[in-house]
Chains A and B, each alone.
Chain A
Amino acid sequence: MRRSAPLMHIAVCALGAIYLIFASLMLYNWIITVFFPTAKLLYSICGVFIPPDPGSAIVLATTGMLLAGSVYYHYDRYKFISCVLVGSLLGSAILVLQLLTVIANAIDAQILMLYGEIVEYGLKEEIMRPDVLLGIPSAIVLYNSVRELRKQW
């Protein structure tokens, strides 16, 4: 475990940095949408859609801050675990929430179609979002940090 610790630190820090980058892009898109409607949006990067969603950006930024910031506490095992655990928990929670939203939207589309409305529903855009895609490695980190915490108990 001790040998793999620096590797863990680097991986968590890198994940945190990616979270922060996507949070910034989401905020950028939102600012463009609200204040400069004529400017060009950064619609997607490598197939990942960047929604102009400041709420998700807050969650992504917080997750990124916690994961990247955990490295600052590398000297203290508990403080490091605390930041990683809470950060990955947030990352996983927003993943679950987005998946629930996808399911709800799918059900909603069916309901609306039942009473004759034409519904445009973009499943790909709902799934290929940074909060969903980054949520997967976050969930793995969460699993590992919970296991790590349990080892102490």
Chain B
Amino acid sequence: MSELSKAKHNRIKIALAGTPNVGKSVIFNNLTGGRAWVGNWPGTTVEKKVGKMRIDRQDAEVIDLPGIYSLTAYSLDELIARNAIIEEKPDVVVNILNASNIERSLYLTISLLEMGANVVVALNMIDIARERGYEIDVRKLRELLGVPVVPTIAIKGVGIDELKEEIKKACRGRKTPELIINYGDEVEREIEKIISVLEKDPALIKKYNKRWLAIKLLEKDEDVIERVRKSQVASMILKQVEKSIKTLEEALGRDIEEYIAEKRYEYAFRISNECVKVVREVPQTPSDIIDFAITHKVFGIPIILSILYMAFKFAFDVATPLVDLIDWFFAAFLYDIVKSSTLPEVVKSFLADGVITGIGSILVFLPNIVFLFIFISLLEDLGYMARAAFIIDKIMHRWGLTGKSIIPLIIGIGCNVPAIIATRAIEDENDRNVTALVNPLVSCSARLPVYLVIAAAFFVAYRGVVVLSMYLLGMLLAIMMALLLRKCVFRGPSTGFIMELPPYMTPLPKNVLIKTWERTKRFLFKAGTVILLATVLVWALSVTGPSGYIGTEALEDPTLLEKSWVGVIGKTMQPLFYPMGWDWRAIAALFFGFMAKEIVVSTMAVLYGAAGEEELPKMLSMAFTPLSAYAYMAFVLIYVPCLATLAALRGELGLKYAILALIYEILLAYLVALAIICIGIPLGLK
């Protein structure tokens, strides 16, 4: 049976592997047309992106593996990528190489070839390599690796057709010859000995490449050892491995794992040396030149602040007309239609005061969120976010924190849930726990509607700065709490952070839009599910009370509303917040905001009877002072993580730490809000 006909029964699988920032997502979008569905890797909550492409009139599944440098078992990303190749057995692995730094990328290629994967190499960013004065002999590279090599400039779509053609050929049955690196006579002898024992278990060598398995066992790879333990001849194998390691370490006088890695690097260096010629001495690339100022020790932080401010200005000021259009649609058009209909009063109130007011008060911020995500995606694709992480890492490291925390903290600006999951890439347990625990302090997009409503009520002239101050406060508190936790709870040294800065690239509109859509989708989904349900709940608790059904008049009569369940909740909690001087309705909104932070706004809209984006700030300006409103914003930023974040914390760290996060955040929120009031009043702020 040919490979293709076999594939007709089992869907063709193509995996994309490459180092971070090599252009993997762009190639994924080029191959799949940007259509992807997102799931989880088996046994984990790490996001798995899968797309579709057509090969010989049939659908093939394209799997986007995490960005990795090698295939060890040390980090979750590398383990996921490796297991995907072992378990899912892709028909082709497209390995994307950075042409401007080929030696570094080749380590992964060598690891893939040693595994016996059917590899097609995409030599991406060939234009940048040329700019840097490198000339790559593609034919030679093809010869040395024994696999097809296609030069590409993914961002411009150059070489993508040729790459598709090579993928098709590989799917039709071309198999990559197994790469055999000579590790030296002594090591080779021991590899042979291990292989001879492995061959005693046919099931094992049917599933894995035996030479790869032997090398991994010599490297003391824990995941592979676990797999081998399931074999019937496990004890024999492990005994031989132990003996071989001992013999080799004595003979070589060093750690065998280190020795094997060094041999692979030597091999990568040899290939790179033979294929890459420096045809032009280039003292500095444009990226290097720009990076001098961008990553400067004095200018770096002000540049980050300036760019963040511009992101907020773009998101709030430029999006204003769209915000008003959506507001008009919900607050005037839909609201009036329902209110003037002949439906029964309860149904009218439920739809207009509950559903339309609640959902409308959130969806009105959709343009702000979309514009913010467009800006962030542009910065990511440009290569700036990596620089921002690099600059912040310098500060973090000075405070004894790991720079690896930066990536999850930055992801947290979008949503804390994937950010907490992203902490799995941090190997050190203490660092991982601390980063996950402080992540909810990073202001996610769910808090944005709260800031915007309050900023519109009190800080119209400089709402960008007020919102920026919330993001900075969140980051500052996260760093301070991390420091505190590191000193008191999770003691121990912090690990280092190595980061490769990608060259600057022109962002591709299609990619920016795809990323923006993927992020916005979550917000829309939440609006249609959790927020809708919560709004209905708030409405129901507002028209009913301990005495039973009060009537829809409660929504227009504050005295009646006080007698509702919402009134009872708000009034009961009010004494706790007496120093802040918050209205009981705002306090009740905090109670419901536990489900999702956006619900604070939808609840306030229902409780203050505000149908439109402009009406709620007007109502709030009567219930708060600028100082108490700012304290309220800070409280919303810090207090309890939403339910989904709490579930993620429980999943990653366990119930004990989820409760710890819950308690410390409530206390911290209260202290910070109180501090704002206590400092603000003597300063003459109202």
B328 in contact (CB, < 8 A): yes
Q: For the complex, what is the distance from the CA of A86 to the CA of B286, rounded to whole Å?
A: 12
Q: Which of A36-76 contact B (CB under 8 A)?
A: 51-56, 58-59, 61-63, 65-66, 69
- Looking at the complex, which of B271-279, B302-310, B531-539 is the stretch in contact with chain A? B302-310
Q: For the complex, what is the distance from the CA of A94 to the CA of B305, rounded to whole Å?
A: 13
- Known contacts A34-B685, A153-B131; A54/B321 CB under 8 A: no
Chain B, residues 293-305, CB within 8 Å of chain A (1/0): the string is: 1101011001101
- Would B306 and A115 count as touching, CB distance under 8 A? no
- Would A111 and B312 count as touching, CB distance under 8 A? no
B340 in contact (CB, < 8 A): no
- Would A100 and B290 count as touching, CB distance under 8 A? no
- Would A83 and B303 count as touching, CB distance under 8 A? no
- Would B321 and A78 count as touching, CB distance under 8 A? no
A79 in contact (CB, < 8 A): yes
- Would B683 and A35 count as touching, CB distance under 8 A? yes
Additional pairs, 18, CB under 8 Å, beyond known A55-B465, A58-B309, A62-B299 = A54-B465, A55-B468, A61-B302, A62-B305, A65-B299, A65-B302, A82-B290, A82-B291, A83-B293, A85-B289, A87-B293, A90-B303, A93-B310, A101-B317, A105-B317, A107-B321, A108-B321, A111-B325
Q: What class of interface size applies to chain A in its complex with B?
A: 35 or more
Q: What class of interface size applies to chain B in its complex with A?
A: 35 or more
A140 in contact (CB, < 8 A): no
The minimal Cβ–Cβ distance linking A131 to chain B, given in whole angstroms, is 10
Q: Which of B284, B313, B319, B684 contacts A55 (CB 8 A)?
A: B313
Main secondary structure of the interface of B (DSSP, over half): helix
Q: Which of B4-25 contact A (CB under 8 A)?
A: none
Q: For the complex, what is the distance from the CA of A108 to the CA of B323, rounded to whole Å?
A: 9
Chain B, residues 451-467, CB within 8 Å of chain A (1/0): the string is: 00000000001101100
The minimal Cβ–Cβ distance linking A73 to chain B, given in whole angstroms, is 8
For A52, list chain B residues within 8 Å (CB).
461-462
A81 in contact (CB, < 8 A): yes
A-B contact pairs, 22 of them (CB 8 A): A34-B685, A53-B461, A54-B462, A54-B465, A55-B462, A59-B310, A61-B302, A62-B305, A66-B293, A81-B289, A86-B299, A90-B306, A93-B310, A94-B310, A97-B310, A97-B318, A100-B318, A101-B313, A101-B317, A104-B317, A104-B321, A111-B325
Q: Which of A111-153 contact B (CB under 8 A)?
A: 111-112, 115, 149, 153
- Would B286 and A153 count as touching, CB distance under 8 A? yes
The minimal Cβ–Cβ distance linking A35 to chain B, given in whole angstroms, is 6
Q: Which of B289, B465, B683, B684 contacts A149 (CB 8 A)?
A: B289
Chain B, residues 425-465, CB within 8 Å of chain A (1/0): the string is: 00000000000000000000000000000000000011011
- Would A115 and B328 count as touching, CB distance under 8 A? yes
For B324, list chain A residues within 8 Å (CB).
108, 111-112
A22 in contact (CB, < 8 A): no
